[in-house]
Structure 1
Amino acid sequence: MGNAIKGSLNKNQSLSKNIFNKDFVVSAIIPIVIFYVFNKFKMPLNGIILSGIWSIGVVIVNFIKEHEINVLATMAAIFSGVGLIGTIISKNPTFYFISPIVRDVLYALIFFGSLFLEKPLIQLIVEQSYFKNPPEELRKNAKYKSTWIILTIAWGALNVSQAVIGIILLNLVSMQSYYAIITLYSNISTPLLIAFSISFPSWYWKK
């Protein structure tokens, strides 16, 4: 089984080398800069709207470039769009800040809920995008299914942590500090978990 695992995963290992690159700056740093600039000029609502449009635009551009639907990115874009529309209608910046917390809670429920399905959500995502047609020898191994259960739990736990941190920050720090911290935390913790998700199966299956 070791050779089948090695051959199937090698093509995915380069993903971990590309986590902290220009895409991180584009998706995480620039929205914060946009918000800070507008907030400095007492226009936080405009800053939120533009940074939200930027974030959604990044997802759309990536889709156009890759010609492939990324489940997590699509879900993030949908929630960002709902938060952005709600902010524009209500003209209340708080609406946009609360939406990530609601999103993370829903993500956690989706991840944990998928554990009761035939295939956990992470398994569906991986087999759809990165690990198509796994070898029969590997699929029959007991560790194959448990791998995706472990990773699905990890992703659910990450979203719970983001929601908890968001609630704490929203009640303790300023609006600009909340936005900066929660955006950076999300854009750092998620790539790190992606790197873990890439390396964990190879280690676990060989164990």
Structure 2
Amino acid sequence: MGQVQNNNKSVLKNVFNKDFIISAIIPILIFTVFDKYGMTLEGIILTGVWSIGVVCINYVKEKTLNALATMSAVFAGIGLIGTVVSKNPTFYLIAPIVQDILVAAIFFGSLLFKRSLIQIIVEQSYLKNAPEEVKNRPQFRTIMKQLSIIWGFVCMSQALVRIVLLYTASISTYYAISTAYGNISTPVMIAFSIMFPKWYSRRSRQGAQN
């Protein structure tokens, strides 16, 4: 029981950390303030620049590009440019929906390759020092493919939630929930992607012993 509680605390700590405040809370506060004073377009532009800047700063500090962060930065950039050109905040708000759908398609499409997308992400960011023998095990790759399927469905669910909010809620509410939801679901899924293979392997060993 104590180990489970520690694992839960560890996951929560990894989700609600300094990066969460910088990448989720601050953009929400910026946009909410600007939108409240009728400066929605300016708020969109500023939060877009902020989000892209966070990715760039992390790259300068760590010298590596996380696949998911890179895709988010690319779509944020496209949404930002479209918003400035069209002068329509909706353009920026639709970008995450398109991103979710395309990322889901990429996750499902990666199942056709030797290494699925989530395996690349996990190995790139969290299993850098893991032996190649572990990474090349058929069981490990099978688990990663299963996780890629789960990721695909999570991305599709995010897109559906955002579409519903876009047509039923205010712009501020949509942006706040969409940003917070995306910044919570991604680290939770990454934590799950790391813990699930360990749990699965432990369960398989126990089954073999019985």
Same fold (TM over 0.5): yes
Letter in 1 for 2:83: T
The residue aligned with 1:161 is 157
5+ residue gaps, structure 2: 1-9, 204-210
Whether 2:181 is the aligned partner of 1:185: answer yes
Change in CA separation of 1:134 and 1:16 when aligned onto 2, cut-off 3 Å:
farther
Change in CA separation of 1:147 and 1:90 when aligned onto 2, cut-off 3 Å:
same
Change in CA separation of 1:130 and 1:122 when aligned onto 2, cut-off 3 Å:
same
Structure with more relative contact order (C-alpha pairs < 8 Å, separation 6 or more): 1
Correspondences of 1:128-207 after superposition (within 5 Å)? 128-132=124-128, 134-135=130-131, 138-139=134-135, 141-207=137-203
Letter in 1 for 2:51: S
Whether 2:104 is the aligned partner of 1:113: answer no
The residue aligned with 2:17 is 21
The residue aligned with 1:35 is 31
Change in CA separation of 1:183 and 1:29 when aligned onto 2, cut-off 3 Å:
same
CA distance in 2, matches of 1:117, 1:150: 13
State the Cα deviation string for residues 26-46 of structure 1 (Å, max 9, x = none): 100110111111111111000
Contact 2:104 2:156 in 1 (8 A): yes
> Which secondary structure does the structure 2 equivalent of 1:115 belong to?
helix
Change in CA separation of 1:139 and 1:51 when aligned onto 2, cut-off 3 Å:
closer
Report which stretch shifted further, 122-131 or 166-175: 122-131
Report which stretch shifted further, 128-137 or 113-122: 128-137
> Which secondary structure does the structure 2 equivalent of 1:183 belong to?
helix
Q: CA deviation at 1:98?
A: 0.7
Contact 1:16 1:198 in 2 (8 A): no
Change in CA separation of 1:195 and 1:136 when aligned onto 2, cut-off 3 Å:
closer
The residue aligned with 1:80 is 76
CA distance in 2, matches of 1:90, 1:146: 45
CA distance in 2, matches of 1:169, 1:17: 28
The residue aligned with 2:58 is 62
> Which secondary structure does the structure 1 equivalent of 2:112 belong to?
coil
Change in CA separation of 1:36 and 1:149 when aligned onto 2, cut-off 3 Å:
same
Q: CA deviation at 1:81?
A: 0.3
Change in CA separation of 1:135 and 1:88 when aligned onto 2, cut-off 3 Å:
same
The CA RMSD over aligned residues, in Å, is 1.7
CA distance in 2, matches of 1:66, 1:188: 22
Whether 2:48 is the aligned partner of 1:52: answer yes
